[in-house]
């Protein structure tokens, strides 16, 4: 006999939880806002003053960082601020390249030059590095020239 899954709970259009413990993360909410959960492709050319690209900061784990680079004048060689958004959850329904984040991050990038990295795989608690370790890892990564002096490591 084949067991047919029964819906146990639906969370706000994002998640459907079934009686066998499985989860479906397909969008079930209003179609008017579905575009917010669609992926936005990398944009290496400047669009509305911002280009995006991914850097691998750890080739062993495959962790990448999405960089939102603001367009600057050719004679502007000053360093700029970087905002890092580290995803903190084990069980997540969103991705860093979704339109809802792209719209916000490109706005941040025009103001503060924002960076984002991919979400961690669950369960991450046991192996999640401390914030200070993340900082050291970033300062020894391809992002180091963007971040500044290694003397900032605490």
Task: Tell me how far apart the alpha carbons of residues 101 and 120 are, in angstroms, rounded to a whole number.
Answer: 17
Give the pLDDT mean for 40-67.
83
The predicted pLDDT at position 81 comes to 62
Per DSSP, the three-state class of 28 is coil
Task: Tell me how far apart the alpha carbons of residues 67 and 55 are, in angstroms, rounded to a whole number.
Answer: 7
The predicted pLDDT at position 144 comes to 59
Of 17-26, 50-59, 74-83, give the lowest mean pLDDT range. 74-83
Structure tokens at 27: 């969008």
Q: For residue 33, what is the DSSP state?
A: G
> Whole-structure pTM over 0.75, yes or no?
no
Strands 63-70 and 50-58: antiparallel
The predicted pLDDT at position 149 comes to 36
Q: To which residue do tokens 């603001």 refer? A: 70
Binned at pLDDT 50, 70 and 90, residue 20 comes out as very high
Instruction: Please answer whether residues 81 and 113 qualify as being in contact, where contact means their C-beta atoms are separated by less than 8 angstroms.
Output: yes
The predicted pLDDT at position 105 comes to 81
The predicted pLDDT at position 132 comes to 47
What φ, ψ does residue 22 adopt, rounded to 5°? -75, 160
């Amino acid at each position: 006999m084949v067991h047919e899954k029964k819906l146990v709970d639906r969370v706000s259009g994002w998640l459907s939880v079934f009686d066998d413990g499985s989860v479906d993360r397909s969008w079930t909410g209003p179609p008017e806002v579905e575009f917010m959960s669609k992926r936005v492709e990398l944009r290496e050319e400047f669009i509305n003053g911002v280009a995006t690209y991914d850097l691998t900061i750890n080739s062993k784990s495959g962790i990448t960082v999405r960089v939102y680079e603001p367009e600057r004048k050719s004679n502007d060689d000053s360093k700029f601020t970087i905002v890092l958004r580290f995803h903190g959850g084990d069980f997540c329904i969103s991705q860093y390249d979704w339109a809802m984040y792209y719209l916000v991050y490109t706005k941040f990038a025009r103001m503060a030059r924002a960076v984002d990295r991919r979400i961690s795989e669950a369960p991450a608690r046991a192996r999640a590095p401390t914030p200070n370790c993340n900082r050291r890892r970033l300062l020894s990564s391809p992002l180091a020239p963007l971040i500044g002096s290694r003397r900032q490591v605490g």
